[in-house]
Amino acid sequence: MARNVYLAIKGDVVVHHTDLSAMADMDGISKPDKTVTDEEWDSAGCLARIIDGTIFLGKTDAEKLAEAQQTVRNKRNKILVDVVDPVQKILVWNDMTEAEQTEWKAYRTALLNVSEQDIFSTDPDSVVWPAMPNI
């Protein structure tokens, strides 16, 4: 059975309850400012805040974008640590031809520049990842 989550502004925070009598007893609020389904509450990550005087559920578009951008940076950094840096260690590097070294340098530079792509500022999930050279 679906249940409701009752949200109300109390001072500078949003309180939430699944029972109206509990909201009245615990917070002295007889009428919620907003009612959402349990499913809506869960899909918002159980996050409610006051933005411009009203209750806002979930993350803002700017927060979602910043998270997606950080995910791209984290992926890039993991590739740099797990793949590029070991290849550039002196023993492996010295066994490469000059052309292979140039290719790896270009790959590393392209990875570092992933966050400079125009699409990164609006849709970071759509950045174009450079192809890794053969080892």
Instruction: Express each pLDDT in 15-29 by its tens digit.
Output: 999 999 999 999 999
Contact assessment for residue 128 and residue 117, using Cβ atoms and an 8 Å cutoff: yes
The pLDDT-based confidence of 84 (bands split at 50, 70, 90) is: confident
Domain layout of the chain by residue ranges: 4-57, 61-126
List the single range of 10-14, 21-25, 40-44, 131-135 with lowest mean pLDDT.
Answer: 131-135
Q: How far is CA 1 from CA 4, 50, 129, in A?
A: 10, 29, 45
66-75, 83-92, 122-131: which has the minimum mean pLDDT? 83-92
What is the pTM for the complete model shown? 0.70
